């Protein structure tokens, strides 16, 4: 599953620890001291590896796996072959993620690209910047005046931290990312190439030309947020752009000025959120969703991929389509169009 040159193993994990990490029950006959040395898919896992299964599509692969142990939901436990230990848990994938993090700790977040400890000689740190103990700064990093970086944060090669920026403890900023005009909480992950705190797109339009509106707000990113590669988050115009704690943002997402995103939202790749829109807590936006400006998407709403939102969405709603609407209405429209097209085709062939 993994090439060790990229993600070295942290060492074997006893089966009892695998069970504890994943919340699975260890069968009484299983040897808790037997070790798991790696993780792999069902079809390729070997006798010292861990696999998982929670999707009926992989039932056949489960029946023939050679894994030492398999994390499996109760409904599939009886299909685990005799030579494999069934570790039964309601959430196999979540458990598998926890074990992977134990096996491959360096894969969970950006790390130093230079095996650096402390501040590398090839970095550029302004004398007025303040770094707490344990900060790792790779070559090529630029840290501006009066920036503050919390303990155990990693700044990978080539990233830029602007003047006055505050970054909390235990964060990871990936290679060539830039963080300007922003405050980041603790344990924030910013992947390579992301751009945080640049100018928002604001112009006073007019026949004599488009007058640029200075963007004087900030970006506030709360604890435990993860931001994908090449994602952009514009600073606010006259108020702050905010990303709430625990929110996970995929690669290639555009978040415009003054957007407020609640806690524990999920925003998938290529989403575009226009200015001054608010997402309440636990909102999910599928890939390539577009949201026009000045809207509110209510708590827990879920929007299907490739949809376009042009009006407020109620809390808990499930919407899809262009323009987006409740999924049942969307499905009815698609079915009607399909039937009309089929009727027209049939009538045309009869003529």
9 sits in which H/E element: none
Contact by Cβ (8 Å): 188, 225? yes
- Tokens 């006893």, located at residue: 14
Catalytic, out of 126, 210, 257, 264: 257
Among candidate residues 211, 265, 209, 218, the one with its CA nearest the CA of residue 237 = 218
Q: What is the DSSP letter of 153?
A: -
Does residue 210 have an active-site annotation? no
The whole-angstrom separation of Cα 346 and Cα 333 is: 20
Cα–chain-centroid distance for residue 71? Answer: 23
* 3 CB burial (10 A radius; 0-12, 13-18, 19+): exposed
Helices 92-103/15-22 angle, 10° precision = 130
**3-state percent breakdown (helix, strand, coil) of the chain, nearest 5:** 20, 25, 55
Contacts of 54 (CB under 8 A, 6+ apart): 72, 73, 76, 91, 92, 93
The whole-angstrom separation of Cα 36 and Cα 96 is: 12
Contact by Cβ (8 Å): 313, 303? yes
Contacts of 314 (CB under 8 A, 6+ apart): 298, 301
User: How many angstroms separate the first and last alpha carbons of the chain?
Assistant: 58
- Residues labelled catalytic: 257
């Amino acid at each position: 599953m993994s090439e060790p040159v990229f993600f070295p193993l942290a060492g074997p994990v006893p089966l009892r620890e695998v069970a504890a990490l994943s919340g699975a029950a260890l069968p009484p006959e299983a040897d808790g001291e037997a070790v798991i040395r790696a993780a792999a898919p069902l079809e390729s896992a070997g006798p010292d590896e861990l696999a998982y299964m929670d999707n009926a599509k992989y039932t056949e692969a489960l029946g023939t796996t050679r894994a030492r142990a398999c994390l499996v939901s109760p409904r599939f436990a009886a299909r685990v072959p005799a030579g494999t230990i069934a570790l039964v848990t309601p959430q196999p994938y979540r458990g598998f993620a926890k074990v992977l993090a134990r096996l491959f700790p360096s894969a969970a977040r950006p790390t130093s690209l230079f095996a650096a400890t402390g501040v590398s000689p090839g970095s550029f740190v302004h004398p007025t910047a303040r770094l707490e103990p344990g900060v790792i700064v790779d070559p090529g990093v630029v840290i501006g005046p009066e920036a503050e970086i919390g303990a155990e944060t990693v700044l990978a090669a080539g990233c830029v931290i602007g003047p006055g920026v505050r970054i909390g403890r235990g964060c990871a900023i990936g290679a060539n990312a830039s963080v300007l005009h922003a405050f980041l909480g603790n344990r924030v992950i910013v992947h390579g190439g992301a751009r945080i705190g640049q100018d928002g797109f604001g112009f006073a339009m007019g026949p004599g030309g488009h007058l640029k509106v200075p963007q004087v707000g900030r970006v506030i990113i709360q604890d435990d947020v993860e931001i994908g590669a090449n994602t952009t988050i514009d600073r606010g115009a006259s108020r702050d752009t905010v990303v709430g704690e625990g929110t996970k943002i995929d690669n290639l997402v555009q978040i415009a000025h003054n957007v407020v995103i609640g806690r524990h939202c999920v925003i998938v790749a290529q989403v575009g959120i226009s200015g001054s829109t608010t997402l309440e807590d636990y909102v999910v936006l599928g890939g390539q969703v577009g949201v026009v400006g000045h809207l509110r998407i209510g708590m827990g709403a879920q929007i299907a991929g490739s949809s376009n939102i042009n009006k407020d969405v109620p809390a808990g709603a499930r919407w899809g389509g262009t323009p987006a609407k409740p999924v049942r209405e969307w499905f009815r429209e698609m079915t009607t169009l399909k039937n009309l097209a089929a009727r027209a085709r049939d009538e045309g062939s009869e003529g």
